[in-house]
Amino acid sequence: MDIVLASASPRRRDLLTQMGLSFRVVVSHADEAVDPALPPQEQVRLISRRKAEAAARQVGPEALILAADTIVALDGAVLGKPHSPREAAEMLHRLSGKTHTVHTGFTLRQGARVHTGGEATQVTFRPLTEGEIAAYVATGEPMDKAGAYGIQGLGGLLVEGIRGDYFNVMGLPVCRVGLALGKFGVQPLGGGESR
């Protein structure tokens, strides 16, 4: 089966590879603007559907497309990817010593068949010093990540604990995606594809 990852995220590529799947990447350039009044879990689902639709216009109808979107929510505010080191530092100050929620929405699409799901994970940061925030921002790691941190990298040093799917914090809820793939005939634990 032709599996397409509609994402430029290296973390999502790594996670699909760890799942034992063969796939190709097609970056979809979907509109990611949403009504900020929508709950965060609905925002990510909507954007993942848009990404899947945009990718569908670039690949054949038999391809199975996986698209995803991840955001961080704190006290009702959505923290996306920072646009500058200053914005990254501001986000980390807001997250310091608090618990936030990482929301990921994902969509699987093959022709007219569409499945959209999501996951939410609670992440608690330890209190951070000014020096720690400045040093972390200086690494550049926060710049392409929702909430300005990557749990799988140096950002893991900021995290005191999580409740929920660790991989969701990286950008793809592996368990839920694996189960959803089964609905399309793909069994990651069964050799890749069911016959």
Residues marked active site are found at: 69
What does the DSSP assignment read for the chain?
Answer: --EEE----HHHHHHHHHTT---EE----------TTS-HHHHHHHHHHHHHHHHHTTS-TT-EEEEEEEEEEETTEEE---SSHHHHHHHHHHHTT-EEEEEEEEEEEETTEEEEEEEEEEEEEPP--HHHHHHHHHTSGGGGSGGG--TTTGGGGGEEEEES-HHHHHT--HHHHHHHHHTTT--GGGTS---
In sequence order, which residues have a C-beta less than 8 Å from that of residue 111 and are 6 or more positions away? 61, 62
Query: How far is the C-alpha of 45 from the C-alpha of 95, rounded, in Å?
Result: 23
Query: How far is the C-alpha of 10 from the C-alpha of 18, rounded, in Å?
Result: 12
